[in-house]
Amino acid sequence: MQDNDYVTSLAFSYNSKWIASSSYDKTVKLWNIASGDLQNTLSHDNVVFSVAFSPDSVWFVSGTTHSIHVWETESGRKRYTLEGDQESAYSVAFSPNSEWLAGSGDKTIKLWNADSWQLKHTLKGHKEIVYFVAFSPNGKWLASSSEDKTVKLWDVESGKIQHTLQGHKEGVFSVAFSPNGKWLASGSSDRTVKLWALNSPEMDKQQTESQQVESKQTESQQIESQQIESQQIESQQIESQQIESQQTESQQTESQQIESQQIESQQIEPVEPEPLFHERRCESALSHNPIDNPRPLNNAVATEYLSQKKACLVQLEQLRAVHQRITKLKKQIQNDQTDVFDKKKVYEEKKAQFDRAYQFDPSGQNVVSSEKQRQVYQAFDKAWQAYQNSQKKLFQHQQLKAVTEKELAQEQEALNAIIEQLDSLRGELREALFTNLKKKMGMKKKQLAEVLHDIIHNLAFSQ
């Protein structure tokens, strides 16, 4: 197991046959309790934060970034993916009657019908991330704990808040019902565990007061949050535009410098491109013509020779174009490798910060607040995603380069075939030319013999 492959969640099946574990290594492992053997390893695209079995042990679910996956326990086959708008599914839970599935992650809680896997309720009320959810033994209530220092009790059927329990000084990371459903326990990063008596007069009084306060504050908070969000979006857009313009200017400057350096280097020491060998072969095939103009031969060989000559030039241009694409891809791969190195360095720095923030300190002297831990985790997750994306980009360009190199080899083979055809046609043209010249020479010899005969005859006659 690597340093960042933490086990994030464990769950026993209700038939006591299986135990499931989720991890930062993006897998869920399913173990056989009786034998201790690993039964299945189920891969995910993102970190897995939570797992839970259905009461009949037929299903189990895993919660990751933005989605929840439903699996068959025996076969390990994924049956459904429940999409949501959560940042991460930190907690998942089945109701005891197997009717509901709850998942939390952002400021909301999703409730799905466990028969149809359709989303039925989106529970809104928390002001910060919801860390944990738990159903009451009778399945009528759902408890949720949040970074906003509160615990809320929800009516499952209606999806409405019934109680808001306040008292913790820091974020609340876990909640649990007693088996008889009369008590609720909550654990917080303020190092306390609180035990709440359900349906007590104090709880009802607190609920009435909290509802009055919440009803007055909800509208103003919504308006304020909308204004803050709009301001943040505007400022982020302005900053991103400024950064993009600066990056564009710097990239243009760098590209101009590189181009000028390339021009200078080309003037000092010319560099032959790779297709030059094929250019020379093509030029050699075209320059060694058996005659300057083969058309007067007026035969099919001369016509085919001229056609192949044009084809050789066209094929050479295609070869040059493919070679230019490979050259560009090589530069892109070099840039991608640099980007991967930089992203990896940032990721390792954020990982070290994450490890320090979540490291247990028995002395209690260096305890990091839950808000700071959340910020550190978000920075770590962002760096990890950026590192992964840079690796994917490098892999895609490497694959494209391999495909283009195959295309280059095919273009080279086609050019070689044309050159071989030109060589063959050149031999045929030479033979035709020789035959033509031979005929002309034969005609001249006959004419010369006739002239000599006349001269000899005239000389004899004069004597």
CATH number at residue 307: 1.20.1270
Q: List own/partner pairs for 20-25 with CB under 8 A and 24 or more apart.
A: 20/51, 20/53, 20/60, 20/62, 21/51, 22/48, 22/49, 22/50, 22/51, 22/62, 22/63, 23/48, 24/48, 25/1
Flag whether 160 is in a domain: yes
Both 130 and 216 in a single domain? yes
What gap in Å lies between CA 343 and CA 349, rounded to an integer? 10
Answer with the one of 182, 202, 221 that is the final residue of a domain.
221
Please give the chain's pLDDT, 463 residues, in tens: 444 568 888 999 999 999 999 988 889 999 999 998 999 999 988 888 899 999 988 999 998 877 889 999 888 888 888 876 555 678 899 999 889 999 987 788 999 988 888 889 999 999 988 989 999 999 999 999 999 999 999 999 999 999 999 999 999 999 999 999 899 999 998 899 999 988 754 455 555 444 554 445 555 555 555 555 555 555 555 555 555 555 555 555 555 554 444 433 333 233 333 444 455 555 555 554 444 444 445 467 677 777 777 887 887 788 888 888 888 888 889 898 899 899 888 888 888 887 777 665 555 555 567 777 778 888 888 888 888 888 888 888 888 888 888 888 888 888 788 778 777 777 777 776 666 666 666 666 666 666 666 656 555 554 4
Please tell me whether residues 170 and 308 are part of one structural domain: no
Residue 217 and residue 280 in one domain: no
The verdict on 175 and 300 lying in the same domain is no
Query: Is residue 16 domain-shared with residue 145, that is, in the same domain?
Result: yes
Give the domain-ending residue among 181, 203, 221: 221
pLDDT value for 262: 44
Where do runs of H (alpha helix) occur along 269-367?
A: 276-287, 300-357
Cα separation of 458 and 17, whole Å?
Answer: 129
Same domain, yes or no, for 213 and 355? no
Whether the Cβ atoms of residue 28 and residue 44 lie closer than 8 Å to each other: yes
Same domain, 282 and 172: no
Statement to judge: residues 451 and 376 lie in one domain: yes
How much is the pLDDT for 458? 56
CATH number assigned to the domain comprising residue 78: 2.130.10.10
Same domain membership, residue 203 and residue 293: no
* 184 within domain boundaries: yes
In a domain, 398, yes or no: yes
On whether residue 203 sits in a domain, the answer given is yes
The reply to whether 249 falls in a domain is no
- Asked if residue 156 and residue 63 are part of one domain, the reply reads yes
Which of 221, 255, 290 corresponds to the end of one domain? 221
Same domain, yes or no, for 45 and 183? yes
Q: Measure the CA–CA gap between 32 and 17, rounded to whole angstroms.
A: 6
Is the residue at 227 inside a domain? Answer: no
Q: Which domain holds residue 411?
A: 272-456
Same domain, 374 and 451: yes
Query: Using an 8 Å Cβ cutoff, are 59 and 83 in contact?
Result: no
On whether the CB atoms of residues 312 and 418 are closer than 8 A, the answer is yes
- Whether 258 is covered by a domain: the verdict is no
Answering whether pTM is above 0.95, one says no
Q: Is residue 197 part of a domain?
A: yes
d(CA 54, CA 100): 10
Q: How many domains does the chain have?
A: 2
